[in-house]
Each structure stands twice: as C-alpha cells, then as structure tokens.
C-alpha cells in the first residue's frame, strides 16, 4: 500500500485537514524507528487504497525537539511515497524554509497552502501557478476549514502517487546542511510569487486581544470563561450521564436478568454486578468526555488556550510548570482523563510528566459526588459549603506542593516560545470529528482496564461465596482488617477501607459500595454514617479520598500517555504516601486539639 | 538593547540572536532572523511573557528567552 506522510508546522490546520482527508477513520499505530503512536488513516484514492500518516507538527527538519526528531526518524525508517506538505498561507514567508528542506530530500512532494480564507482577509496574494513552476512541485491553495480547493488538491495527490519516489538520500543530515542555499532560494521564490501588504490591516484578533489579554481584566475574564465552561459541561453532562445509567439498568432488568435467570448465582453476580456494571460505569463517563472534548476543542481551536497560557505563565513558571499546565489543571477539575490527554500539547517530556504528576490532585466531578454526599450527611447546612470549599483548597495545595517538590526532578530546559494564532471559529464538523476520535480512543483503552478492575473488586467482596457479600469474612473484609493498623492512625474504619478499594476503580461507586456494605441507601445511609463517624473521621476519609488516587481510567490514561510503567507507579505511590501523610497530620492534629 | 527591554508598541530590528543551538534554531524557525523587523505588542502581568509580532506571526516568549535577542529601535 502506498504511504502518504502529512507534514507541516504547528498551527497550519494540518490535523483538521487530516481529519477531512481520512473522514474520521483514523487509528493510532506504531511505526519503526519511533516510540510514539501516530494517527493513521486508510482511504480510497482513485482506485487504490492508500495510507495517510499524520506526523507531529514541527518547525525545522534539523531541530532537536521531541517532535522534530520523531519526524526525522519516521522519514528515515519509513520513506513515504508522497510527502503532503501543509503550509499556513498567512505565514508563507517563514514556512517555505520547511518546504525547501523537504524538497532537498528528493521526496515526492505536493504542497497545500492552507488557510486560504485567512490569507485573503490579510490581503496576501499568492501566485500558485508560478510558485509550482519555480518549485517544480504541485502547489494548491485551499481552506481545510471550509473545504475549498480540496478536490483539486486530492486529484493532484492521486496523480503524484503514480510516480515512484525520486529517491531518498542516505545521509539525511548531510543533505540538510545547506541553510544558506535554502535561504537564497527561499527569497527568490517568495519575491516573485508572494505579495504581503507592508502593514497588515488590523485584524479582529487584535481587537479581541485588547479585551481578553487586558493587563488587569485578562485574568478575571479568563476565570469567568472557565467557570462558565465547567458549569456548562456539568449542566449538560449530568442529565446525559443519568440517562445512560438509567438505560443500562433498564437493559439489565428487562433483558439481561431474565436471560441469565437459570445460571448459577455466582456467575450471575460476576457477569451482572461485575462485568456489566463495569461497562455501564465506563459508558456513563462518555457524555462528560464528549462534552469536555467538544468544549476544550472549541477553546483550543479558537486560539484562546494559547492566550490563557500567556496570562498564567508567570505564576506557573515559579512552580516549574508553564502556562499550558495551568489550563490542564483546570480541565482536571472536571475529569482527570481528558486533562491528562490534553498534556499532549507540551513538547518537553519532563514538563509533560510533571504536569501529569500534578493533574490527579484536581478534585474531579466524581470525587465531588462523594464529598457532596458526605458533607450533606455529616455537617450542618451552613458549614457544608465551607467544608467543600476547603477540599478544593487542599486539592490546589496538593498540586502546588507536588510541583514544588518534584520540579527539580522533572527539570525542563525547554524554552517557553509559543506561537499565538489568530482567533478562529471552529466549524461543527471539526468539533464532531475531534469528539468522536477522542471518545473512541478513551473507550478502547478504558474498557478492558475498568472491566478487569471491577471484576476483581467484585470477586474480593464476594469470595468466599459462603460469606455475606462485602462483610468481614470476604477477601475484601480480610484486607480491610489486615489494613486496619495502617488506616486506624488516620481514622478510617474497616468498612470505609473497603469503600476505598472500590474508589480505586472509580470514585462514582464509593457511595454505592458503602450502600452495599451497610445494606442501606440514600438518606438512611447518610443517617447511619452520621452515627458511626464523627466529623473528624469523615473529613480525614474525604482528604484521603481526594488525594490517594484518581481512578482506574485515569491511571490507565497516565500509563498510556506517559509510555512509562515506572512513572505510573511513581505517581501512584507518591499520591498514596501524600494522602496518608495529610490525613495523618489532620486526624492526629484534630484529636490532639481535642476535637 | 535586548528584546526583553523593549517597551510595548516599539518597533525594532533584530541585530543578533545569542542563543544555544536548539533555541537558536527554534527562534529562527519561528521567524526570528537578523534584519527582521518586529514589534512588542504587550507584556503579561507579573513579569510574564511578552507578545511579539514578526510579519504576520505573533509569538509569545518569556523574558529569559527574549534576553537572547539583540535589537535596535526602528
């Protein structure tokens, strides 16, 4: 099968174009020579199937950043039949260097000058026919966003694929060390083909920036926007989440339970309470994930994320992070999983790891459910909101403490130099495609992991079958008792310890597991908790729940995004240690003070 | 003077870039070249990064990185 490599600088709309070309059929795949996974799509072009690979955006073929090395290694070990080079037409004067570098490799090249719509607004005119002649390669102006110019370009790609690759140089670096020659040629082509007005007309972006990047109001506006975003996600997401949960339990009651009625009770329990409930738990996450990616994709594609990074960078730099890390931390307050995935925008691995180490402390919506239930049951209505707020403070404090402690270990020398793209309206098609890709990715990864975890927890609380489920005689009960010496100093009872084991899978089932353990639900459970626990124990339990670990999906994401088992174990171990330490100091301190 | 000292709204020409190899290449790829005209658009609060316009591109960089770029007021 012929192979097309999609190449270009960041902010050229390359990924949008990739989605348009592959129609959302892309999958992640591994390639020789590189350790990261790349998005790959197979499409029918003319009468043949071809494979299109989306390579990371890069500025310079002989640069030293992670992405630049990935591209170089990929080209070396997987010579493509065609290099489809995407350039931003509004920045053609500086992006042409990349094109000439690729041309020097003697690759089969088709050039796409993307963002023709924006270039037109800027008053930039490009003579593509003449440029094609000078560069000796096909050049097309198009708009990936609106799809104009797209059919012609794909026709040219199809034609170009008929010819074999002219040949790939053996010594890649050697061929590339011709900067001066490149610059002269660049100037020659640009001078004859491109006209940029001496002073650009004031763009809408400048006007928007004057408000959104205001020295005083910029930050408050940013926080307001984020607040509205989260409110929107949960206002829309929770009914959908509830709807899916209802649909799954309906399916279970009307179809699955009768179908399995003749089976052995242990099998019934394992399949229904274990596997099926596990799947339902994963599926319930889907609406939130979809909404998150829709909202975050709009923010990201609009160009506002880069602005937020600009505003927050001064503060984050002191923590060893950068402006983008703050945005991810905020995303984590909704759900840690998309926030961990979002760190992909970071180029430096050390900084990305430090950000991923910090994100799991963000008080996500699932943990919020536990805290809302507990505070309502154990604290007076006027103090409950304060208790909740204090947990948010602890969440931030844990993140800041972690960053400060480990900034030396994950020291990144990567300079903070970012491009600020103009504001753009994302199109619906772009958003839907993005949301769909991310959800499929999430489901693929999380399903097996969560199902395995849920099955394990179910077995722990039901084996041996002679014992009362989740009682002290089951494996979980034995573990709860065995761990008692460890949890007693922080005020957590054996019953709560079992709930924490459930919480390891997903925080959504902590309250549900307590309901199973006590055999009560809703208000009755709250009443019993209030009798059995005093506020100090309850708060210690909440602190531990907040910090000890996110959930299985987050850990799975941490593992797949970091590509490192060691880092995942380290992150988990650190949060467990920190959780115990914080709860210990709180519980013993409060008791010593006589509470 | 260096880019980090340039006031907002001031246009200047790049005289030299003194940076280690990888940062130099990165800056060059983003359009920082000797002789190139630039303008400081704004500075972030709390001594944060600055926003610089080069031709049609806006770049955000920290003051530490900007200190590597020698400029001459236009």
* Assigned token pair, A93: 């004067």
What is the C-alpha separation between A466 and A580, in angstroms, rounded? Answer: 34
For B38, the domain range is: 3-73
In tens digits, chain A (595 residues) has pLDDT values of 889 999 998 878 888 888 888 876 777 666 666 667 788 888 888 788 899 999 988 888 877 666 777 888 888 888 888 999 999 998 888 888 888 888 888 888 999 999 888 888 888 889 999 999 998 899 999 988 788 888 888 888 888 888 776 655 455 545 545 555 666 777 788 878 887 665 556 678 888 999 999 988 998 998 888 778 767 776 787 788 778 878 988 998 899 889 888 888 888 888 887 778 777 766 776 787 778 778 877 877 788 878 888 998 998 898 999 888 887 887 787 778 878 887 876 778 899 999 999 999 999 877 887 888 888 888 988 888 889 889 988 998 999 999 999 999 988 877 788 888 888 877 787 778 777 877 776 677 666 666 776 777 778 888 888 887 777 788 888 888 899 999 999 999 888 888 888 788 888 778 777 776 676 666 778 888 888 889 999 999 999 999 998 888 899 889 988 989 999 999 999 999 999 999 999 999 999 998 8
Model pLDDT, residue A170: 53
Report the CATH number at residue B25.
Answer: 2.30.30.90
Residue B71 is encoded by which pair of tokens? 């400029």
Query: Do residue B27 and residue A417 have CB atoms under 8 angstroms apart?
Result: yes
Alpha-carbon separation of residue A375 from A149, A166, A386, A565, B24 (angstroms): 58, 69, 10, 36, 55
Please answer yes or no on whether B48 and A310 come within 8 Å at the CB atom: yes
Q: What are A's interface residues with B at a Cβ cutoff of 8 A?
A: 9, 59-60, 62-65, 90-91, 93-94, 97-98, 122, 124, 196, 200, 209, 213, 215-216, 218-219, 306, 309-311, 313-315, 317, 323, 415-422
Helix (H/G/I), strand (E/B), else coil: A27: strand
Q: Roughly what angle, to the nearest 10 degrees, separates helices A428-462 and A277-302?
A: 150
Q: What is the DSSP string of A531-590?
A: HH--HHHHHHHHHHHHHS---HHHHHHHHHHHT-HHHHHHHHHHHHHHHHHHHHHHHHHH
DSSP state for residue A90 in the 8-state scheme = G
Number of domains in chain B: 1
- State residue A244's pLDDT score: 85
Q: CA A431 to CA A221: how far, in whole Å?
A: 24
Helices (H), A161-217: 172-176, 179-193, 204-212
- What are the Cα distances from residue A198, in Å, to A257, B37, B71? 73, 11, 20
Helix (H, G, I), strand (E, B), or coil: what is residue A476? helix
Instruction: Report how far residue A309's alpha carbon sits from residue A419's, in angstroms, rounded to the nearest whole number.
Output: 11
Tell me the nearest-neighbour CA distance from A199 into chain B, angstroms: 9
ipTM of the complex: 0.93
Residue indicated by tokens 């050229």: A12
Tally of CB atoms within 10 A around A86: 27
Distance CA A571, CA A550 (A): 11
A7/A14 Cα distance (integer angstroms): 8
Cβ atoms within 10 Å, residue A425: 9
Torsions phi, psi of A24, nearest 5?
75, 15
Q: What is the distance in angstroms between the Cα of A531 and the nearest Cα belonging to chain B?
A: 50
Of the candidates A64, A91, A97, the beta carbon closest to that of B56 is on A91
What are the respective helix, strand and coil percentages of chain B, to the nearest 5?
Answer: 20, 40, 40
Rounded Cα distance between A313 and B60, Å, is: 10
Q: Do A213 and B51 touch (CB under 8 A)?
A: yes
Residue B44 forms contact with A (CB below 8 Å):
yes
> What is the C-alpha to C-alpha distance for residues A547 and A391, in angstroms, rounded to an integer?
10
d(CA A564, CA B12): 46
The residue-averaged pLDDT of B26-47 equals 87
| Residue B34 confidence (pLDDT) | 84
Q: Judge whether A293 and A438 are in contact, CB under 8 Å.
A: yes
Please check whether residue A474 is in contact with residue A463, taking contact to mean a CB–CB distance below 8 angstroms: yes
**Where would I find the H helices in A407-489?**
428-462, 475-482, 484-487
Q: Which of A90, A209, A416 sits opposite B56 (nearest CB)?
A: A90
- Tell me the DSSP string of A348-382: -HHHHHHHHHHGGGS--HHHHHHHHHHHHHHS-TT
Which structural domains are found in chain A, ordered by start? 2-195 (3.40.50.300), 447-592 (no CATH)
Q: Kindly determine whether residue A419 and residue B60, on different chains, have CB atoms separated by under 8 Å.
A: yes
């Amino acid at each position: 099968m012929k192979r097309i490599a999609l190449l270009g600088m960041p902010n050229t709309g390359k990924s949008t174009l990739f989605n348009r070309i592959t129609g959302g059929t892309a999958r992640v795949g591994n390639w020789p020579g590189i350790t990261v996974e790349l998005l790959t799509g197979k499409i029918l072009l003319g009468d043949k199937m071809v494979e299109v690979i989306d390579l990371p955006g890069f500025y310079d073929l002989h640069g030293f950043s992670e992405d630049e090395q990935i591209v170089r290694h990929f080209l070396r070990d997987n010579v493509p039949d065609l290099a489809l080079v995407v350039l931003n037409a509004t920045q053609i004067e500086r992006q042409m260097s990349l094109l000439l570098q690729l041309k020097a490799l003697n690759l089969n090249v088709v050039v796409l000058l993307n963002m023709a719509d924006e270039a037109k607004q800027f008053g930039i005119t490009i003579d593509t026919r003449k440029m094609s002649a000078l560069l000796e390669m096909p050049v097309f102006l198009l708009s990936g966003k609106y799809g104009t110019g797209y059919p012609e370009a794909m026709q040219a790609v199809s034609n170009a694929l008929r010819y074999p690759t002219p040949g790939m140089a053996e010594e890649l670096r050697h061929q590339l060390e011709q900067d001066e020659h490149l610059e002269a040629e660049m100037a020659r082509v640009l001078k004859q083909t491109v006209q940029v007005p001496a002073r650009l007309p004031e763009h809408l972006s400048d006007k928007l920036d004057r408000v959104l990047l205001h020295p005083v109001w910029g930050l408050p506006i940013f926080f307001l926007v984020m607040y509205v975003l989260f409110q929107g996600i949960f206002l829309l997401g929770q009914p959908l989440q509830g709807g899916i949960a209802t649909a799954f339990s309906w399916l279970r009651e009307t179809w699955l339970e009768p179908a399995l009625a003749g089976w052995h009770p242990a099998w019934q329990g394992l399949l229904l309470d274990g596997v099926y409930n596990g799947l339902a738990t994963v599926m319930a996450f889907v609406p939130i994930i979809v909404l998150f990616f829709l909202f975050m994709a709009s923010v990201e594609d609009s160009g506002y994320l880069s602005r937020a990074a600009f505003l927050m960078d001064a503060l984050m730099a002191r923590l060893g992070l950068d402006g983008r890390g703050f945005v991810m931390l905020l995303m984590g307050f909704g759900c840690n999983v998309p926030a961990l995935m979002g760190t992909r925008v970071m180029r430096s691995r050390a900084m990305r790891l430090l950000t991923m180490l910090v994100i799991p402390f963000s008080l996500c919506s699932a943990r919020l459910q536990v805290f809302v239930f507990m505070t309502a049951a154990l604290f007076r209505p006027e103090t409950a909101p304060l208790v909740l707020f204090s947990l948010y403070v602890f969440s931030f404090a844990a993140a800041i403490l972690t960053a400060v402690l480990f900034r030396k270990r994950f020291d990144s020398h990567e300079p903070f130099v970012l491009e600020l793209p103009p504001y753009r309206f994302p199109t619906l098609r772009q958003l839907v495609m993005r949301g769909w890709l991310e959800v499929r990715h999430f489901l693929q990864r999380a399903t097996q992991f969560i199902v395995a975890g849920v099955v394990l927890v179910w077995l722990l609380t039901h084996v041996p079958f002679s014992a009362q489920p989740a009682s002290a005689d089951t494996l979980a009960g034995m573990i709860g008792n065995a761990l008692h010496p460890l949890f007693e100093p922080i005020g957590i009872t054996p019953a709560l310890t079992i709930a924490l084991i459930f919480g390891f899978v997903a925080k959504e089932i902590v309250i549900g597991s307590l309901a199973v353990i006590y055999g009560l639900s809703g208000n009755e459970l709250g009443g019993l908790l209030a009798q059995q626990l005093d506020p100090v124990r309850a708060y210690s339990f909440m602190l531990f729940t907040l910090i000890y670990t996110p959930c299985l999906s987050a850990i799975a994401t941490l593992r797949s995004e970091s590509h490192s088992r060691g880092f995942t174990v380290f992150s988990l171990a650190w949060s467990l240690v920190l959780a115990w330490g914080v709860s210990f100091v709180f519980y013993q301190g409060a008791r010593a003070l006589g509470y | 003077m260096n880019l980090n000292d340039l006031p907002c709204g001031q246009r200047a020409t790049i005289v030299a870039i003194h940076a280690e190899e990888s940062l130099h290449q990165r800056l060059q790829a983003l359009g920082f070249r000797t002789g190139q005209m630039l303008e400081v658009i704004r500075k972030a609060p709390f001594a944060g990064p600055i926003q610089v316009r080069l031709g049609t591109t806006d770049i955000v960089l920290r003051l530490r990185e900007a200190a590597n770029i020698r400029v001459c007021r236009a």
